[in-house]
Amino acid sequence: MLWIKALHIVFIASWFAGLFYLPRIYVNLAMVPADSAAERDRLLLMARKLYRFMTILAVPALALGLWLWLFYGIGMGQGWMHAKLLIVLVLLGYHHSCGVLLRKFENGHMQRSHVWFRWFNEVPVLMMLLAVILVVVKPF
């Protein structure tokens, strides 16, 4: 079980690295001048590669978490785990919305400002903080 926990933590941390950094690329994309196609293309390439990589990392992170929950009964029937699972669902939605935003950037339909993306970038930080508190402190 400790190997599964360790790998789960590694893949979660890796997935979060992408969740933290991809919106920072979006901040830069939102600030690219209209006449700077090379900069835009370079940032889009980085964003596409990072989104693909973080999606690959999310799969084992979620699978290992599910394994811990279902086969070892970690948090089964406890309130803190239900709250953590809600956070996981929010993060999956956030991950998906990152993909939607990437397609909008690629199609040239993005209307949001760099300030909006700076705030958007804070969501995974708050979700990680809440998840860690729930798992460590188990407040309910």
Per-residue pLDDT of the chain (140 residues; tens, 9 = 90+): 999 999 999 999 999 999 999 999 999 999 999 899 999 999 999 999 999 999 999 999 999 999 999 998 888 889 999 999 999 999 999 999 999 999 999 999 999 999 999 999 999 999 999 999 999 999 99
CA dihedral (72, 86, 47, 117) positive or negative: negative
**pLDDT of res. 74:** 85
Planar angle of CA 68, 72, 73, nearest 5 degrees:
95
Cβ atoms of 25 and 43 closer than 8 Å: yes
Planar angle of CA 46, 48, 54, nearest 5 degrees:
95
Distance CA 34, CA 102 (A): 17
